[in-house]
Amino acid sequence: MHREEYGESEDCLGTVEADPQDPAPAARDAMPKDALGAARRSALLAALPAAAAESLLARGTIRCFRKGETIFVQNEQARFIHVVLDGWVKLYRMTESGSEAVIAVFSAGQSFGEAIAFLGFPYPVNGEAVADCRLLQIETRAFGEVVRFNPDCVEPILSAMYHHLHALIVQIEALKARTGSQRVASFLLELCDVSKGRAEVTLPHDKVLVAGRLGMKPESLSRAFSRLGRDAGVRIRGNVATIQDVETLRRFSVRDPALAWSRSG
C-alpha cells in the first residue's frame, strides 16, 4: 500500500475535468482518502488479492461526472473499467429506432466493464451519470497488465461478471413473469431497510428512470403506484413512499400468478 502516492483534492466535482477523452493531469493525482476507502471497499477490489487491488488503485483515476453527463457511448472501444465511488450511473441501450432501454443502474461499491476490459471489446451499452458521481476509472490496458497473468485474480473477475449475469437473469424473470405493480413492489422492498412493520423509503431517482429500470411507461408507473395504494398499503408523496406494512407488500410482490403475463397489472 502506498498511500503517499495519492494526492488530496478538496472537491472532486469542482476540480476534475469530466471529459473521458482527455483526462486532465490533475485528475491523475486526485485520490482523496474517502475515495480511496470507497474504492477499496468496492466488491471487485475487495475481492482481488491486496497487491493487485493496490496496483490497480495506483493506476486508477478518479473522475467526476455531473448528473446527465455521458460517461461512454455504446459501441466505442472500451477504455476503462469503472468502479462507482458515489452517485448513480445508468447503463442503457439505444435501439435502431431511437428508443432507450435501461439495462442497469449502479451505485457506490459496484463496478462494471470487467469482461470487456479484459477482452478488449467495445462497450455494449451507453453509460450516463444519473446523479453527480465519482468514478474510479482503470484503463483497460492497466487492468489487463495487473490481472491477466495472476491466477488469483480470475475468480474475483468471474465472480463480478457472474453478479452482472445473475442480476440480468433476475431482471428478465421480473419482466416476463411479474406484473408492473409487482416489479414496483419488489423495487420498494429492495430499498427498504426493515423486514416488517411500517417503513418509509426515498425513491433514488426521478420517476422516469424508475419506470425505465422496471420496464414500464411513466404512466404505467403512476397506475402501479395507485394500485399499490389500493391493494398493498403504499402511499407515494413526491419521491417518498410510505409502506404501511412491509410483509403485506412482500406478499403482494409474489402473489397473483394469474396476472403474471399481464402488463397492465
Piece of the chain touching a second copy by CB under 8 A; list 32-40, 147-155, 187-195, 240-248: 147-155
Residue position matching grid coordinates 410482490: 253
Shortest Cβ distance from residue 19 to a second copy (Å)? 26
Rule CB under 8 A: choose which of 154, 194, 208, 240 binds a second copy: 154
Residues of this chain, 219-238, that bind a second copy according to CB under 8 A: 220
The cell for 165 is 449475469
Shortest Cβ distance from residue 132 to a second copy (Å)? 26
Coil, strand or helix at 169:
helix
If binding is defined by CB under 8 A, does position 46 make contact with a second copy?
no
Q: With respect to a second copy, which residue has the nearer C-beta, 6 or 112?
A: 112
Q: Are 136 and 39 in contact (CB under 8 A)?
A: yes
Instruction: Determine the Cα–Cα distance for residues 3 and 36; give it in Å rounded to an integer.
Output: 9
Instruction: Determine the Cα–Cα distance for residues 199 and 243; give it in Å rounded to an integer.
Output: 5
The cell for 82 is 469503472
Q: Are 137 and 78 in contact (CB under 8 A)?
A: no
Residue 197: how many other CB atoms lie within 10 Å:
10
The binding track of 81-110 with respect to a second copy, each residue x by CB under 8 A or -, is: ------------x-xxxxxxxxx-------
Q: With respect to a second copy, which residue has the nearer C-beta, 215 or 233?
A: 215
Radius of gyration for the chain, computed over Cα atoms and rounded to the nearest angstrom = 20
Q: With respect to a second copy, which residue has the nearer C-beta, 38 or 147?
A: 147
Q: Which residues 6+ apart lie within 8 Å of 225 measured at CB?
A: 184, 234, 236
Q: With respect to a second copy, which residue has the nearer C-beta, 171 or 222?
A: 171
Q: With respect to a second copy, which residue has the nearer C-beta, 13 or 215?
A: 215
List interacting residues with a second copy (CB under 8 A): 93, 95-103, 115-116, 118-119, 121, 124-125, 148-149, 151, 154-155, 157-159, 161-162, 164-166, 168-173, 175-178, 212, 215-217, 220, 254-257, 260-264
